[in-house]
Copies of this chain bind each other. A is one copy, B any other.
Amino acid sequence: MDPVKVIEIKKSIFEDNEVDADNLRKELKTKGVFLLNLMSSPGSGKTTTLIQTINLLKEKLHIAVMEADIDSNVDAVKIKEATGIPSIQLHTGGMCHLDAEMTRQGLDNVDLEGLDLVILENVGNLVCPAEFDTGSCKNAMILSVPEGHDKPLKYPLMFSICDVVVINKMDVLPYFDFDLEKCKEYVHMRNPKAKVIPICAKTGEGVENFAGWLLQEVKNWKN
């Protein structure tokens, strides 16, 4: 038996995503639920980072996760097994991103009553998800060391819309030509206000900084 709920997301029929997104944010504000949109390339460690973050926060906040993937539900299963929190899988059926309407289809399957935080793990893609406001309260992204420090030059929009850039896989820094200072400089070229947080999701090192930022943002949202 499949241990997680799988939702087949339908293509949005509404035209104005910005209006949809703003409406969704207003609703979430009224309900006191904070929605985080987490983005990255495939394989940068979104799921592992989420597991570590949730395990640091789950005594302080009521959390649920929506895992978006084109196919497969390995991530939602992993999150549920490793953290015990409610986790559902959204299948995009080949679509490369989620917009606000699609995010709402997912949220319709989450019991928001009493929840503080919903984390949306977007499709692994540095291009398209950046173009669509999901209705999230904040955007975060993960860039992993093996991907290279030049990515803010090549994927400008993604870096410009993210409030936080988590730099993952810091443990393998010695084996790659990755310059953290240069990376920070490039991120800030795109978005001077972006917070850059180096972590190693595998060992958990630095994850408390990301969790701390998230906890504060949820508190701000609820006040």
A residues adjacent to B (C-beta < 8 A): 41-44, 69-72, 74, 94, 96, 123-128, 131, 144, 146-148, 150-151, 153-157, 169, 171-172, 175-176
Q: How many copies make up the complex? A: 2
Determine which of B72, B153, B157, B171 lies in contact with A94 in the assembled complex, contact meaning CB atoms within 8 Å: B157
**Contact of A74 with B169 in the complex, beta carbons under 8 Å:** no
Residues A96 and B127 in contact in the complex (CB < 8 Å), given A42-B41, A42-B151, A156-B71: yes
Asked if residues B172 and A94 are in contact (CB atoms below 8 Å), the reply is no
- Bound-state CA distance A96–B144 (Å) is 21
Other CB < 8 Å A-B pairs besides A41-B41, A43-B148, A43-B151, 18 of them? A41-B42, A41-B124, A42-B147, A42-B154, A43-B146, A43-B147, A44-B147, A70-B157, A71-B153, A72-B153, A72-B154, A94-B157, A96-B128, A124-B127, A125-B125, A125-B127, A125-B128, A172-B176
Alpha-carbon distance between A183 and B43 when the two chains are bound, in angstroms: 14
Q: Which residues of chain B are within 8 angstroms of A123 by Cβ–Cβ distance?
A: 127
> Please, how many angstroms separate the alpha-carbon atoms of A153 and B43 in the complex?
12
Report A13 CB to chain B, min CB distance, Å.
Answer: 21
Which residue of the partner chain, among B42, B74, B176, contacts A126 with CB atoms under 8 Å? B42
Assess the B71–A124 pair: CB atoms within 8 A: no
A41 to chain B, nearest CB (A): 5
| Contact residues in B for A146 (Cβ distance below 8 Å) | 43, 144, 146-147, 169, 172
A74 vs chain B, min Cβ distance (A): 6
Which residues of the other chain, B, contact A44 by a CB distance below 8 angstroms? 147
Query: What distance in Å separates the Cβ of A52 from its nearest Cβ neighbour in chain B?
Result: 16
Give the shortest distance, in Å, between A48 (CB) and chain B (any CB): 10
CA distance A72 to B155 in the complex (A): 9
Within 8 Å CB of A96, what residues of B?
A: 96, 125, 127-128
- A94: chain B residues at CB < 8 Å are 127, 131, 157
